[in-house]
Structure formats: C-alpha cells, structure tokens
C-alpha cells in the first residue's frame, strides 16, 4: 500500500494449511481477493483513486466487480465525511490482464503499473 508517492507499506499474512493445498493457485486468488476487501479500511484513512493488484491477475469482470464494490463501500463514508462523490470512484488495475483474458497462462505475480 502506498499513498501519494510515499513509502510503500506492506502487510504480510501467513496461512497454515494442513498438508499441501490441493490447488495452491486457487488459495492464493482467494486470499488476494480477501486482501482487496481489507484494503477498504486503508483507503478510508488515505483515499486513493487507483488500486493496482500485484498479487494476482484480474480479468475485466473482476476489475468491474471491485470498482463497483469500492464505490458502494465508500458511498456512506464520503457522505458522512463531506467528501466529493467522485472520491468513491476507485480504478482497479492489474498489469497482466491481457494474458488472463486471452486464456493464456499468466504468472500469479504481476508488476505494478
């Protein structure tokens, strides 16, 4: 997490699985999407207009879902705090989108735009 060009803050969570997960990639995606939910609280402290997902690739429907999710999540927050309505609009990006949408194999890690 980085706000307005400041230093990057990273949160790391470790999850223990009994034995090896049957589908490590699916577990990684689920945990990454959980992180996008938790990001709401960081964004309320320091609103940003853009989220770049580095943990996993997001296709067009996933990016659309998260943009709608953030708009809904921030609607009341903006109203209560007197923030302009456009503050609730957050662009969600992933730099490996083309590989995911085309069906090509993409690495789970993507670089920030």
Mean pLDDT of 15-31: 73
Helix (H) or strand (E) holding 84: none
Mean pLDDT of 73-83: 87
Q: State yes or no: pLDDT of 107 exceeds 80.
A: no
Mean pLDDT of 34-42: 84
Radius of gyration, CA atoms only, the chain: 15
What's the farthest any 2 CA atoms get from each other in the chain? 49
């Amino acid at each position: 997490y980085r706000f307005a060009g400041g230093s990057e803050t990273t949160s790391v969570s470790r999850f223990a699985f009994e034995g090896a997960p049957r589908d490590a990639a699916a577990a990684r995606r689920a945990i990454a999407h959980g992180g996008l939910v938790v990001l709401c609280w960081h964004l309320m402290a320091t609103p940003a207009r853009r989220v770049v997902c580095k943990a996993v690739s997001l296709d067009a429907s996933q990016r659309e879902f998260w943009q709608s999710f953030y708009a809904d999540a921030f609607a009341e927050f903006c109203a209560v705090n007197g923030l302009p309505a456009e503050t609730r609009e957050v662009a969600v990006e992933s730099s490996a989108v083309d590989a995911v949408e085309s069906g090509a194999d993409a690495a789970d890690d993507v670089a920030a735009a």
